[in-house]
Amino acid sequence: MSRKYFGTDGIRGTANNAPMTAEVALKVGMAAGQYFTRGHHRHRVVIGKDTRLSGYMLEPALVAGFTSMGMDVILVGPMPTPAVAMLTKSMRADIGVMISASHNPFEDNGIKLFGPDGFKLSDAVESEIEALMDRDLSSLLVPAKSLGRAKRIEDAPGRYIEAVKSSLPGHVTLEGLRIVLDCANGAAYSVAPMVLRELGADVIEIGTKPNGFNINDNCGSTHTRPMCDLVVDQKADVGIALDGDADRVQMCDENGRLIDGDQLMGLVAAHWHKTGQLRGNALVATVMSNLGLERYLEKQGLRLIRTKVGDRYVVEQMRALGCNVGGEQSGHIVLSDFASTGDGLLASLQVLAVLSGHDGPVSQMTHVFDPLPQILKNVRYAAGTDPLGHSSVIEAISAAEKSFNGDGRVLIRKSGTEPLIRVMAEGDDASHVERVVDGIIMQINAVTADTGFSFSE
């Protein structure tokens, strides 16, 4: 289904350029306000944001849109995306909105919508809101006496802090742990250090001085070198790096070695299985998760259920199958016993809770499986062409899959935001994996005018 505004995670783009303009934000507020106006009660929307300068432009535009439809607006200011989801449900709001472009640079921004249950909207609902955005809604504007009101609540951070802390068993503390915490100069810059300190940790913080321009700037979960270096320099036990809206996390051990989302999910899922907390006898992850994780889970008597890329699709599958652990290799980890969306801070606490019951360094406990060699490269193609539909490319992909003889896999997908084809393969033999990826890229280049490609980190 082709969509004009919504992508894989809400609406996103360069601030003050279509579609990320005040005009579009106004339309979102009007359309979503109209869609979620059901019944005769006073309708409410919770709006949060990260620390980008453009939030000052988009927030009032959204407020104007919602209030014009008769909705009352609750403003919570800079707060993590999962906090907005949690507050939407706990405050009995009809809809939640997060203004953020997640791990993107400050020039970008985005709008994410949550339903009254705190879950991200389905593709179908987003499409209906899109249709409303392109309609003339002037006839649906409420009369002056019915306009909504807007107010800012000051205790939102405290509500989220207590909710996150309560996810830990009462006997678990972080006393004695020295933690480097990188908040990406983003939405969690205030609440995350407070949570860790209140639980007893010695916190060395970076990325907690936002100025509107420095969100994700050489910091956070997509720029982890500062965290890793500081962990080694300060002889810390562990490092935690959140992204701009704090819905994803990357961690590192005492040696500054990164621990990716697959390792973290495997650790939590196996532990919860042993303690009887894991539901569905499975972990839900995307097609990007390493085959090594799948093999590890099989040895524990568990399944790895894969979805397409996007934490929203992970959550949908978790809900359908009754699973309570899922996420992405990139660090979007969803623990549905406590949250309706990815929560980097909460996920890191659950990892620390598992580690608290064991002696030994973090490096020993968090390496739960040996990942298979996995290579991902991007190849750029000319706009308007479809290399993946060409017979020679189809044949090359088929031959590559057969070459693994069941001991590896090939994944080819188009980017949802730019003209790139992502070519990924993994298997036991690293050199064979690289030959497979390069061979497919060579064939794609042969059938498109644009032969340049860039490598994924």
What does the block give as tokens for 301?
A: 């008597």
Residue with tokens 């090594």: 292
DSSP single-letter state for residue 360: S
What does the block give as tokens for 293?
A: 């994780």
User: CB-hemisphere CA count at 13 Å for 4?
Assistant: 12
Catalytic: which of 68, 102, 221, 340? 102
**2 has catalytic annotation:** no
Say if strands 44-49 and 95-99 run parallel, antiparallel, or are unpaired: parallel
CA distance 28 to 430: 47
Say if strands 325-327 and 282-286 run parallel, antiparallel, or are unpaired: parallel
* Distances in whole angstroms, Cα of residue 8 to Cα of each of 79, 312, 313, 415, 449: 21, 8, 9, 10, 27
Burial class (CB in 10 A: 0-12, 13-18, 19+), 239: buried
Within 10 A of 92 (CB to CB), how many other CB atoms are there?
A: 9
Burial class (CB in 10 A: 0-12, 13-18, 19+), 233: exposed
Strand order in the sheet with 249-252: 202-206, 178-182, 238-242, 249-252, 258-259
Q: Are 254 and 367 within 8 A, CB to CB?
A: no
Within 10 A of 23 (CB to CB), how many other CB atoms are there?
A: 10
Q: Where are the beta strands (DSSP E) in 81-201?
A: 95-99, 108-114, 150-152, 178-182
User: CB-hemisphere CA count at 13 Å for 344?
Assistant: 36
Query: Which H or E run contains 90?
Result: helix 81-90
Nearest Cα to Cα of residue 90 among 165, 190, 186, 162: 162
3-state secondary structure of 371: coil
Nearest Cα to Cα of residue 403 among 375, 422, 428, 371: 428
Residues labelled catalytic:
102
